[in-house]
C-alpha cells in the first residue's frame, strides 16, 4: 500500500457518479419502479432491456437527479453472477469522481468521504482534482470504506485484445476519426454510437473495444451522469461490485422494451434519444438517429 500524504482541502468540481443496483423488483409503474425499497424514476431516456416483471431480479444503472431522487439510466434482468453477489452488510460498489481532499485515514471524492484503512489498496499516486475510481465496502451501519483506489483507466492496462472496457474521463480534443479522451486516442468509426452533443472538456463515459496492440475503438459514447451519492447507500443497499469488469460489463447485445436484441447498440432502436449527434458537425447519419463522427 502506498502512503497517502495529508494535503490541504481545496474545492474541486463534482464529477461523475453512477450506482449499479441489483435487487428484486417490488412494484412497477409508468414513471417509477421500486427495487429493494428504493424508488427509481423511469425517464423517457431510461433503457429497459428485455422483459421484466414484479418479483424478478433486475440490475439497474442509476444516478442521482438534482432533487436528490434516484433515476434509472438502464434496467436489465440480473444474471446468476449478479444474484450471487447480493448481500445486505458487506455490499460493494464502484464510485468514480474527482479527488477533493486526501488525509491519512480518509479521502473525499465528489463530495463524499470514505474511510482509508491499512487494508485499503491504493494503486498509484493521486492529487487534488484528479479522477479516481474507488471500490467501496458498505458496513452494516452504512459506513463507507475504500477497499481499493485506482485510476479509472487502470483496467485498460490489463485489457486483452477483443475485450470491452468502460472509461469515464474528460474529452481532450475531437476530430472526425479520433477523439482524445483522458489522454488516450480513441478511434471513431461509422459504427460508433454517439449519444448526445459533446465538446472538449466535457466528461463522458465510453464503451471501448480493445484491438491489436491495445488500440482503442469507441463502440458507444454517452454523457457521464453527474450526481452525488447522498443517502443512496444504507443498510438495504444491494450493489453489484463489478461495474467495469472487462468480461462481465459488456453491454453489447442491446435490447429495447419490446425484447428485440441485436449484436450492438447501433441497431436502429433508439433507446435514449430520438436523435443524437456528437456535436462536432462532422458526423454522418447512420440511419438510426445517432449521428457519428466516423
> What's the sign of the alpha-carbon dihedral 165, 109, 233, 256?
negative
Q: Do residues 97 and 17 lie in contact, with contact meaning Cβ atoms separated by under 8 Å?
A: yes
Q: What are phi and psi of 66, to 5 degrees?
A: -60, -30
Q: Which of 108-117, 194-203, 275-284 has the lowest mean pLDDT?
A: 275-284
- What pTM did the predictor assign? 0.36
Residue ranges of alpha helices (H) inside 114-219 are 154-158
Residues above pLDDT 70, as percent of the chain: 59
Q: What is the tens place of the pLDDT at every residue in 247-274?
A: 343 344 444 434 343 444 444 444 444 4
Give me the domains of the chain, ranges plus CATH numbers: 92-150 (2.40.50.320)
Strand runs (DSSP E) across the chain, as ranges? 19-28, 32-35, 38-48, 57-64, 70-77, 92-102, 106-109, 112-115, 121-122, 131-138, 144-150, 164-174, 178-181, 184-187, 193-195, 203-210, 216-223, 284-285, 291-292
Q: What is the tens place of the pLDDT at every residue in 161-197?
A: 777 877 877 888 999 999 998 778 999 999 999 998 9
Q: How far apart are CA 190 and CA 75, in angstroms?
A: 27
Q: What is the pLDDT of residue 223?
A: 86
Q: Do residues 58 and 52 lie in contact, with contact meaning Cβ atoms separated by under 8 Å?
A: yes
Residue ranges of alpha helices (H) inside 42-175 are 80-84, 154-158
Amino acid at each position: 500500500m502506498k502512503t497517502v500524504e495529508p494535503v490541504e482541502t481545496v474545492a474541486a468540481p463534482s464529477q461523475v457518479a453512477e450506482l449499479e443496483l441489483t435487487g428484486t423488483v417490488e412494484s412497477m409503474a409508468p414513471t417509477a419502479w421500486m427495487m429493494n425499497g428504493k424508488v427509481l424514476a423511469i425517464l423517457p431516456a431510461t433503457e429497459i432491456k428485455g422483459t421484466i416483471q414484479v418479483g424478478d431480479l433486475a440490475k439497474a444503472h442509476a444516478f442521482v437527479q438534482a432533487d436528490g431522487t434516484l433515476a434509472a439510466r438502464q434496467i436489465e434482468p440480473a444474471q446468476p453472477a449478479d444474484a450471487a453477489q447480493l448481500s445486505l452488510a458487506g455490499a460493494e460498489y464502484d464510485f468514480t469522481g474527482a479527488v477533493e481532499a486526501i488525509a491519512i485515514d480518509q479521502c473525499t471524492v465528489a463530495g463524499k468521504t470514505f474511510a482509508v484503512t491499512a487494508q485499503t489498496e491504493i494503486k498509484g499516486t493521486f492529487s487534488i482534482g484528479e479522477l479516481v475510481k474507488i471500490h467501496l465496502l458498505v458496513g452494516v451501519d452504512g459506513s463507507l470504506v475504500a477497499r481499493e483506489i485506482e485510476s479509472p483507466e487502470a483496467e485498460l492496462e490489463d485489457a486483452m485484445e477483443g475485450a470491452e472496457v468502460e472509461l469515464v474521463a474528460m474529452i481532450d480534443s475531437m476530430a472526425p476519426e479520433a477523439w482524445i479522451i483522458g489522454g488516450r486516442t480513441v478511434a471513431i468509426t461509422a459504427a460508433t454510437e454517439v449519444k448526445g452533443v459533446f465538446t472538449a472538456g466535457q466528461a463522458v463515459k465510453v464503451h471501448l473495444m480493445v484491438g491489436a496492440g491495445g488500440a482503442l475503438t469507441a463502440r458507444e459514447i454517452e454523457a457521464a451522469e453527474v450526481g452525488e451519492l447522498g443517502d443512496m447507500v444504507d443498510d438495504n443497499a444491494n450493489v453489484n461490485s463489478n461495474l467495469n469488469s472487462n468480461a462481465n460489463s459488456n453491454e453489447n447485445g442491446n435490447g429495447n422494451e419490446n425484447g428485440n436484441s441485436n449484436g450492438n447498440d447501433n441497431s436502429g432502436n433508439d433507446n435514449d434519444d430520438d436523435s443524437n449527434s456528437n456535436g462536432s458537425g462532422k458526423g454522418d447519419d447512420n440511419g438510426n438517429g445517432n449521428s457519428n463522427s466516423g
